[in-house]
Amino acid sequence: MARRVLGRGLMMLIAGLAMAPVCEAIDGAPEYRVKAAFVYKFATYIRWPPPVAGEVNTPFLIGVLGNDPFGSSLNDVVRGQTVRGRGIRIRALHRAEEALACDLVFVSSSEQRNLAQILALLRTAPVLTVGDMDQFAEQGGMVGLVTTPDNHIRFDINSAAIDRAGLRASSQLLHLARIVDEARGEGGHH
């Protein structure tokens, strides 16, 4: 881990100004713009189980559970985009049950108290859970967004949770992520 941080610093020296979009993440609103992009991109690197007949042409549904931190960012990001040929729709969710109808759910930090309950509900459902609260993945979430000390946005992946839900993450995605384990709360690279 220390090596990785060191490497990242070194990389910053090399890449320098090339990382301008990341630097914009320092301020609040731009940070969620990056996170919105990440949410969408996760969808492109995860494979869902084949849809049931009749659902083939249904839109890819992204739910935001709790207080929406994105503003218009998420809508901006997904406008005109598709996920494996499916159009994308954003829906604000107020109850955990509503998440079952979605393909991807962003669990807002406002739901921290209900997290265990929410995750238990979605435990085996083919719904990708993404969150940016602390220890989201360790607590049973699938993808947890992390802001590094140098203001980069990284992500943790709980591959056990993903497998349990019948989803499959691409190896390229796993390669970029920090893999965490629910039991010990620590993980390593694949």
Partner 1 sequence: MPGSASIGRRLGWLSIFSSGTALLTASVALLFFQLQEVKSSQVRRLETIADLIAFNVAPAVDFNDAEAANVMISSLKTRPAVLSAGVIVNDRIFAVYHRPGATTPEVGGRQAPLTGYRFSNDALTVYRPVSSEGRRLGTFFIESDLHEYDQTWRRFALVTGLVAIPALLIALLLSQLPQRRISRPILNLASLAAAVSDRKDYSVRAPSVRSAAEIEQLFGTFNQMLTRIQGQHAEIEDARAMLERRVADRTTELEARTRQLEVQGRELASANRELESFSYSVSHDLRAPLRAIDGFSKALLSDYRTRTLDQRGIHFLERVRAGTQKMSQLIDDMLHLAQVTRRPLERTDADVTAVAKEVAAELARRHPDRTVRWVIEPNLRASADAHLLTIVFENLLGNAWKFTGGKEDALVQVGQTSIDGQPAFFVRDNGAGFNEAYAGKLFGAFQRLHNESEFEGTGIGLATVKRIVTRHGGLIAAQGVEGVGATFCFTLGGAS
Query: Is residue 175 part of the contact set for partner 1 (CB under 8 A)?
Result: yes
- Which residue from 33, 56, 60, 30 is spatially nearest to 44, judged by alpha carbons? 60
- Which residue from 155, 173, 115 is spatially nearest to 139, judged by alpha carbons? 115
Residue 114 is given by DSSP the state G
| Torsion angle of C-alpha atoms 14, 173, 77, 56, degrees rounded to 10 | 160
Scanning 14-22, 58-66, 104-112, 128-136 for contacts with partner 1 by CB under 8 A, the matching segment is 14-22
Scanning 79-87, 129-137, 157-165, 180-188 for contacts with partner 1 by CB under 8 A, the matching segment is 79-87
Query: Is residue 168 part of the contact set for partner 1 (CB under 8 A)?
Result: no
Q: Nearer to partner 1 by C-beta: 82 or 124?
A: 82
Query: Is residue 26 part of the contact set for partner 1 (CB under 8 A)?
Result: no
From residue 26, alpha-carbon distances to 36, 76, 85 in Å are 15, 20, 33
Q: Nearer to partner 1 by C-beta: 122 or 177?
A: 177
- What is the contact mask toward partner 1 in residues 97 to 126, using x (rule: CB under 8 A)? ------------------------------
- Which residue from 190, 170, 171 is spatially nearest to 179, judged by alpha carbons? 190
* Number of residues in contact with partner 1 under rule CB under 8 A: 29
Question: Residues with Cβ < 8 Å from 165, sequence gap 6 or more?
Answer: 122, 123, 124, 125, 126, 127, 128, 142
Give the footprint of partner 1 on this chain (CB under 8 A): 4, 7-8, 11-12, 14-15, 17-19, 21-22, 34, 38, 41, 44-45, 81-83, 152-155, 170, 172-173, 175-176
